[in-house]
Amino acid sequence: MPPKDDDDLLAAEYVLGLLEADDWRAADQRAATDGAFAARVRDWEARLEPMNAEFPDLPAPDLMPQIEARLFPAPAARRRSAWRWLGAGSLVGALAVALVVLSPVLRTSQAPLLTAELVAEDRGLVLAASFDGTQLNLRAEGLPAEAGQDYELWVIGADGVPSSLGLVQDSVLIREAGLEAGQTLAVSLEPEGGSTTGLPTGPVVATAELRAG
């Protein structure tokens, strides 16, 4: 699972109180010091607050439970100040909502990581590609191309038709893409700015098949 999905899932579990005590304390500390993680926590609180609002505050039957709670807090059961105690029924509902909202994250995390290494030894060009189900991450060595030229990355599916994934001008390329195992990645040498035809016009200098790994 990519880091951003890990953080989103952790923030959801933190807000719902599903973490073990030690994990909850670590997440609570992180929410206090990590602005990006705190923003994810606030986002989950905002998503689930409408459901929480359906359950009114209930008075405690006596003061002893409150005193015990103050003296011996249960970290895994705590909520941030905006959250009231969820009863068993509402907690089940919260979990159901969380599963629906988190399902895209969970599906993404289940996608196998696809990798490919493209090497053009005569040019000293090496491209290491990885695809996590939604995002292509490309690391390149041996840039730039010769003056007046650019390397362009292509994906070739079962139909054999290349589709451009963009120019490779920097050592790191990250972009959204729809790729599958068995497809071929290829790099061609194009005029500066890339192909104007939608297909490779220059020599293909390296190819590699995307494989699960």
Q: Hey, how many other C-beta atoms are within 10 angstroms of the C-beta on 210?
A: 20
Q: Which residues pair with 151 in a beta bridge?
A: 168, 189
**pLDDT of 50:** 65
pLDDT of residue 19: 83
Rounded Cα distance, 201 and 205, in Å: 12
Average pLDDT, integer, range 134-159: 90
Q: Based on the fold, state whether residues 39 and 120 are members of the same structural domain.
A: no
pLDDT of 198 strictly over 50:
yes
pLDDT in tens, 53-104: 555 555 545 555 655 565 555 554 444 444 444 444 555 555 555 555 555 5
More confident residue, 61 or 4: 4
Q: Which of 147, 133, 131 is nearest to 192 (CA)?
A: 147
Q: Which range has the worst mean pLDDT, 4-18, 53-67, 184-198? A: 53-67
Query: Reduced to 3 states, what is the DSSP secondary structure of residue 37?
Result: helix
Higher pLDDT, 77 or 134: 134
Mean pLDDT value of segment 132-146? 88
Identify which has the larger pLDDT, 210 or 101: 210
Give the span between the Cα atoms of 49 and 76, in whole angstroms: 19
155 & 175 share domain: yes
The mean pLDDT of 185-205, rounded to a whole number, is 93
pLDDT higher than 70, residue 196: yes
Q: SS3 sequence, 93-157?
A: HHHHHHHHHHHHHHHHHHCCCEEEEEEEHHHCEEEEEEECCCEEEEEEECCCCCCCEEEEEEEEC
Q: In terms of domains, do 69 and 159 share one?
A: no
Whether residues 126 and 68 fall in one domain = no
CA distances from 151 to 2, 117, 118, 185 (A): 27, 15, 12, 13
119 and 79 share one domain:
no
Strand order in the sheet with 135-141: 172-176, 135-141, 125-131, 114-120, 211-212
**Do 92 and 42 share a structural domain?**
yes
Pair (31, 87) in one structural domain = yes
26 vs 96, more confident: 26
Domain closes at, from 109, 132, 164 = 109
Domain boundary among 45, 77, 109: 109
User: Which pLDDT band, with edges at 50, 70 and 90, does 110 fall under?
Assistant: low
**Domain ranges, residue 100:** 3-109
* CATH at residue 181: 2.60.40
Q: What distance in Å separates the CA atoms of residue 65 and residue 71, rounded to the nearest whole number?
A: 10
The mean pLDDT value of the chain amounts to: 77
Question: Residue range 96-121: average pLDDT?
Answer: 67
Q: Which of 109, 144, 177 is the last residue of a domain?
A: 109
Cα 18 to Cα 23: distance, rounded to the nearest angstrom: 10
In terms of domains, do 60 and 81 share one? yes
How many domains does the chain contain in total? Answer: 2
State the CB neighbour count (10 A cutoff) for residue 25.
14
Round to whole Å and give the CA distance between 13 and 155: 38
Residue type, 95: L
